[in-house]
Amino acid sequence: MRDKKVDTTNSGPTRRNLLAGGLGLAVSTASRRVSAHPIDNPPVFETARHQYTILEPQRAMNSVILSSLTGAPKLVAPKSGKVTLVSFWATWCINCKTDLPTLAELQRAMGNRIQVEAISTDKTGRDSVQGFVSDLGVQGLSISLDPSGLLGELDGAGDGNGQFPTYGMPITYLVTPGGLIAGYIVETADWLNDAGRALISYYE
């Protein structure tokens, strides 16, 4: 069942939600709004308290230039021909200590089919973020800094300039190979289990 009301708390929905009205993205009128499938009905994918939430209508993800961990400009954009997972996290987020290594493992295991973009929302500076990542031993993961909310809306209201409201932390959005934002899931999710692989396969 699809619930038209979107849960914006960390208690999370216990069933699939439908976000009506889209994300309020700053996209041009030429942006594609056609779903990846005529009727978007992906397999169920869930964490302990949340389910993958479908976004309709789907909107195109805009490319954004953020900063990398080295301080160099970094283009964050959908990966053509691959599913892109855009995951927002922060150093103060306890669950992110599990989620980042999980996403790094996913990138290593399925890098031929997906691209993971891990976006830090911290305002504490590059050194603290870099230290956090180093302490976790995370390697091979594309990490960018977004302290100003150019990509992720830090208050989760869905009415700012960012393309991705952060309804919880961590939160991971799935972007189709065609560049459309299809849905999201809150908390650490096991993308390498059967359900996670099935969801990725559905959008390929």
Question: Is 12 among the domain residues?
Answer: no
- Closest C-alpha among 9, 37, 41, 35 to residue 22: 35
Question: Is 9 among the domain residues?
Answer: no
Question: Is 7 among the domain residues?
Answer: no
Tell me the CATH number at 113.
3.40.30.10
Q: How many residues does the chain have?
A: 204
CA 196/CA 85 separation, integer angstroms: 12
Lookup: tokens for 135: 């302490």
Question: Is 52 among the domain residues?
Answer: yes
| Residue 153, pLDDT score | 83
Question: Is 104 among the domain residues?
Answer: yes
| Residue 27, pLDDT score | 33
| Residue 162, pLDDT score | 76
Question: Is 100 among the domain residues?
Answer: yes
Cα-Cα-Cα-Cα dihedral sign, residues 92, 118, 8, 124: positive
Number of domains comprising the chain? 1
| Residue range of the domain that includes 101 | 18-203
Question: Is 137 among the domain residues?
Answer: yes
Question: Is 189 among the domain residues?
Answer: yes
| Residue 145, pLDDT score | 96
Walk along the chain (204 residues) and give the pLDDT tens digit of each residue. 343 333 333 434 333 443 333 343 333 333 333 444 455 789 999 988 899 999 988 999 999 999 999 999 999 999 999 999 999 999 999 999 999 999 999 999 999 999 999 999 999 999 999 999 999 999 999 999 999 999 988 765 544 567 899 989 999 999 999 999 999 999 999 999 999 999 999 999
Question: How many angstroms separate the Cα of 39 from the Cα of each of 59, 83, 101, 144, 157?
Answer: 15, 19, 34, 33, 27
